[in-house]
Amino acid sequence: MMKEKFALISVYNKNGLKNLCDSFFKNDIKIISTGSTAKHILSLGFPCKSVSNVTKFKEILDGRVKTLHPNIHASLLFNRKINRHVKSFNKLKFPIIDFLIVNLYPFAKIIKKTSDFSKCIEMIDIGGPALLRSSSKNHEFVTTICDIEDYKSLINELNRNLGFTTLDFRKKMAQKAYATTAKYDSTISNWLNKNKTHHFKIRNHKKITLRYGENPNQKSFFYNNQSKNTFLDNILQGKKISYNNILDIDSAINCLNEFSEPTCIIIKHNNPCGVSSCKRILSAYKKAHLADPISAFGGIVALNRLVTLNLAKQMSNNFYEIIIANNFTKPALKIFSKKKKLIIIKRKNLLIDKKQDIKSINAGYIFQDKNLSKINLKNIYCVSNIKASKKTLEDLIFSLRVCKHVKSNSIVLAKNKQTIGIGAGQMSRIDATKLSLMKTSNHKKKIGFVAASDAFFPFTDNLKLLIKNNCKSVIQPKGSVNDDKTIKCANSYGLPLYFSNYRFFRH
């Protein structure tokens, strides 16, 4: 085994190399280096062997491949205490690298300076992180330096220890190197995520012709990615599915996923029109239908429990386009079979893999992450002097979960985990509030309901109108410049007011 000590230096930032190389020279540590680093070290007046001369492999691909060589990594990784490692390495007749000095391409800086994708890609260091990881793994024998700020500490170590370093120092430097590569990779990953190119692999999808589009004069198709257990694989009966049906099914399933207790949701034109959660699914259905029976006509019913014979009989008394449930008993399916056009979909084990929302616009497509924010006690908080009771708090969470799936601007009124008024898709929040209150005409006992808003109240007029109509608590997202005025207004009426950490626009 060659007994001379070597340091491999491959750095982007060449500051501080003069003092470091001088220390190596004084401690009889020879230097191996790469490309421009080798030229710089030679220009400083220190002897230096180039990597390509040592490996007998010239740099290729414009310098992309220079230190990715088995002999280099063998030198960094072989265990000096294991005889078979030593024997294998000796056969290579390669210098023993005991010191590695590497700093990485400044990727984080370049992405702040330019949006040129190809320039940013070229600043992703490959060989550097690989070298750091290899030498750090073998820190029992190899000293790894990845930060210019540590040159002085290394020089002091060499001076104190006659050209060697302590294990504690090597271990500390190895930890820093791994932290550096982890942060480096994370920066690249986050950048790629923001700049990713989306491709519609239509060729890998199954094309299904629909009855028509949003209107009869529009042709429409559904491209299924052929994943198993989609809703198409779980249709048990009914007429050919339509464009509008698919949109409503998607809305129903997304909304239903907010609830774990027995819940029924009735969707109409992409909006919930009646929602209820109860201890029994039959009661949940009845209350959801009673929430707005006029709007429920021809709607989509979604339930997160088994549909039994008794429940099927209740639902068959009304006209619906689609019924979605976890499963159906055979007697229930027999009841539904009398309605040949009624679409029945089993929800159990349904694959929900949608992580992004995609919409087409005249110029192309727009993408966004799906709003998967959870609505629970962790993400809401009281901002008023008076807090809501436990039961009222449950109604607030229930109403906001529904509100999340109503077209903006939206207001949802609820009582005893039943919606009693929904104002959807209005151009102003006050109009949405008025519409939700108008919908409460279906309910005799309107006193003591709660209200949820999908975004903050910009003015106190909404709050005052709700209080005037016997609302007992309100929940809204934070963020308005008038939040303090809203809180002051709630306190003046003794109203429990809660804020959400998240906004829930849906367009």
Cβ neighbour number for residue 421 with a 10 Å cutoff: 25
| Cα–Cα nearest to 67, from 30, 106, 38 | 38
The distance in angstroms from the start CA to the end CA of the chain is 70
Is 445 known to be catalytic? no
Residues 6+ apart with CB under 8 A from 10: 33, 34, 37, 51, 66, 67, 101, 102, 127, 128, 131
Residue 208, CB-side half-sphere exposure with 13 Å CA sphere: 16
What percent helix, strand, coil does the chain show, rounded to 5? 40, 20, 35
Residue whose pair of structure tokens reads 């990485």 in the numeric block: 104
Cβ neighbour number for residue 438 with a 10 Å cutoff: 10
Q: How many helices (H) and strands (E) does the chain have?
A: 19, 23
- In DSSP terms, 283 is beta-bridged to none
Contact 304, 326 (CB under 8 A): yes
> Largest Cα–Cα distance in the chain?
95
Is 137 known to be catalytic? yes
Cα 247 off chain centre by:
23
- Alpha-helical regions (H) of 167-242: 167-194
Report how far residue 354's alpha carbon sits from residue 371's, in angstroms, rounded to the nearest whole number: 11
Token digits for 392?
Answer: 């009222």
Residue whose pair of structure tokens reads 């490959």 in the numeric block: 126
Contact 249, 231 (CB under 8 A): yes
| Cα–Cα nearest to 55, from 3, 85, 95, 6 | 95
Report how far residue 296's alpha carbon sits from residue 335's, in angstroms, rounded to the nearest whole number: 20
Report how far residue 264's alpha carbon sits from residue 260's, in angstroms, rounded to the nearest whole number: 11
Token digits for 337?
Answer: 């079979």
User: Which of 18, 49, 137, 339 is the catalytic position?
Assistant: 137
Token digits for 480?
Answer: 């308005």
Report how far residue 141's alpha carbon sits from residue 68's, in angstroms, rounded to the nearest whole number: 21
Token digits for 358?
Answer: 């995609």
| Cα–Cα nearest to 490, from 452, 464, 469 | 464
User: Which of 269, 339, 434, 485 is the catalytic position?
Assistant: 269
The C-alpha R_g of the chain, in whole angstroms, comes to: 33
Token digits for 79?
Answer: 């265990």
Cα 61 off chain centre by:
36
Q: Which residues are catalytic?
A: 137, 269
